[in-house]
């Protein structure tokens, strides 16, 4: 698929970050776009930007959908069929995701499962729902967003990252399994797994809105304990200090990234054009992949992080 003009793309998590950047770039190339998110204000801004930049006559539809809920995903599919008056789609970007659910041992089970459900079941439910429409296309491509945390399950030796990492490993394995499955049963449908490094998105900020609402006492206490264990705050820090640090870190993740969301989207779309099944995004992702492959037994020790720091490939995290 060298040309996206006249195609129809479905993008989950299109309200911000890479999802929004993908929608904008595809619309600008003459692609119709259907996108969903749970944050409706973000979605409205995506629609405004796409319509402002799109080729004349392109159809941009937005839909509120929680991808962790299969009934809502099926409703989203039906809405896409109706809004675009079609029986097929050409591109499916399973991009929606959040961070959270840090520790399996002493973290909050509800938050852990919410993170896992969005990051894994969101991909699975959408793949199930839209597979018949992909097969109905003459030339189709499914693109599943994993992460460097889909091959390196940590943010460092002192930061548990189990729900997100487990989900991203599942996305990677699922995508790789589909290569052979599609080749045998739907050879005109291609699949890619995307593994971004640190990308300048609002995932940290949006995750708080999605999984924790306005922030409860449990989250505040967990964040305080984590920051204290890392030596980031003193024991006498106020609740307001903790809240401000959470916001500051979210802004820092977005604003200090080595790769922007727009750059990431361009890399992903180039990978689709070239029909690459494995798309690493960012120099940090490439270097981390090399290091983990070279010494997998060392990947979870302090020395591994020190190597990353020395090479300038480690700032505030490796998640997408």
What average pLDDT does range 260-265 have in this prediction?
A: 95
Q: Is 202 left (phi over 0), alpha (psi -120 to 50) or beta?
A: alpha
Of 14, 10, 13, 319, nearest to 168 (Cα)?
A: 319
DSSP states of 149-205 as a string?
GGTS--SSTT---HHHHHHHHHHHHHHHHHHHHHHHH-TTEEEEEEEE-SEE-SHHH
pLDDT band at 230 (very low <50, low <70, confident <90, very high): low
- pLDDT at 254 exceeding the cut of 70: no
**Are 283 and 121 within 8 A, CB to CB?**
no
pLDDT digits (tens, 9 = 90+) for 152-171: 999 888 788 899 999 999 99
Of 33, 53, 54, nearest to 43 (Cα)?
A: 33
> Which stretch of 107-111, 211-215, 223-227 has the lowest confidence by average pLDDT?
211-215
pLDDT band at 201 (very low <50, low <70, confident <90, very high): low
What are the structural domain ranges in the chain? 8-212+259-310
pLDDT band at 320 (very low <50, low <70, confident <90, very high): very low
pLDDT band at 51 (very low <50, low <70, confident <90, very high): very high
Helix axes 122-135 and 70-84, enclosed angle (nearest 10): 30
pLDDT at 316: 43
Helix (H) and strand (E) counts in the chain: 12, 9
pLDDT band at 24 (very low <50, low <70, confident <90, very high): very high
Percent of the chain surpassing pLDDT 70: 85
Around Cβ 120, how many Cβ atoms within 10 Å?
Answer: 22
Would you tell me which CATH number, out of the four given (3.90.550.10, 3.40.50.720, 3.20.20.80, 3.40.50.1000), belongs to the domain 8-212+259-310?
Answer: 3.40.50.720
> Which stretch of 114-123, 243-252, 253-262 has the lowest confidence by average pLDDT?
243-252
Around Cβ 158, how many Cβ atoms within 10 Å?
Answer: 12
pTM above 0.75, yes or no: yes
What are the backbone dihedrals phi and psi of residue 154, each rounded to the nearest 5 degrees, phi first? -165, 165
Of 63, 75, 71, nearest to 38 (Cα)?
A: 63
pLDDT at 95: 97
pLDDT at 57: 81
- pLDDT at 261 exceeding the cut of 90: yes
pLDDT band at 234 (very low <50, low <70, confident <90, very high): confident
What average pLDDT does range 251-266 have in this prediction?
A: 81
Percent of the chain surpassing pLDDT 90: 69
The catalytic residues are 164
**Are 289 and 148 within 8 A, CB to CB?**
yes
pLDDT at 311: 84
In sequence order, the 6+-apart residues with CB closer than 8 A to the CB of 276 are 192
What average pLDDT does range 34-52 have in this prediction?
A: 96
User: What distance in Å separates the CA atoms of residue 109 and residue 70, rounded to the nearest whole number?
Assistant: 21
């Amino acid at each position: 698929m060298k040309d996206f003009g006249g195609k129809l793309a479905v993008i989950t998590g299109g309200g911000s970050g890479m999802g929004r950047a993908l929608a904008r770039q595809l619309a600008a190339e003459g692609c119709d776009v259907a996108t969903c998110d749970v944050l409706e204000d973000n979605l409205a801004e995506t629609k405004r930007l796409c319509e402002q930049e799109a080729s004349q006559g392109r159809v941009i539809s937005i839909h509120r959908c929680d991808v962790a809920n299969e009934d809502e995903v099926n409703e989203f599919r039906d809405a896409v069929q109706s809004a675009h008056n079609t029986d097929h789609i050409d591109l499916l970007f399973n991009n929606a995701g959040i961070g959270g659910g840090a520790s399996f041992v002493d973290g909050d089970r509800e938050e852990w499962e919410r993170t896992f459900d969005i990051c894994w079941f969101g991909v699975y439910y959408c793949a199930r729902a839209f597979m018949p429409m992909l097969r109905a296309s003459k030339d189709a491509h499914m693109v599943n967003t994993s992460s460097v945390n889909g091959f390196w399950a940590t943010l460092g030796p002192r930061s548990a990252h189990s729900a997100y990492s487990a989900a991203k490993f599942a996305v990677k394995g699922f995508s790789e399994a589909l290569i052979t499955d599609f080749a045998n049963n739907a050879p005109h449908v291609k699949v890619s797994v995307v593994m971004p490094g640190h990308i300048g998105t609002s995932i940290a900020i949006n995750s708080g809105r999605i999984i924790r609402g306005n922030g409860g006492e449990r989250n505040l206490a967990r964040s305080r304990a984590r920051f204290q264990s890392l030596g980031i705050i003193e024991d006498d820090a106020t609740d307001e200090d903790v809240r401000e640090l959470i916001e500051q870190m979210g802004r820092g993740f977005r604003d200090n990234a080595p790769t922007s969301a727009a750059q990431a989207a361009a890399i992903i779309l180039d990978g689709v054009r070239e029909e690459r099944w494995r798309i690493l995004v960012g120099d940090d992702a490439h270097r981390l992949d090399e290091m983990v492959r070279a010494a997998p037994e060392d990947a979870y020790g302090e020395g591994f992080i020190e190597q990353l720091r020395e090479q300038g490939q480690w700032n505030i995290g490796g998640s997408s």
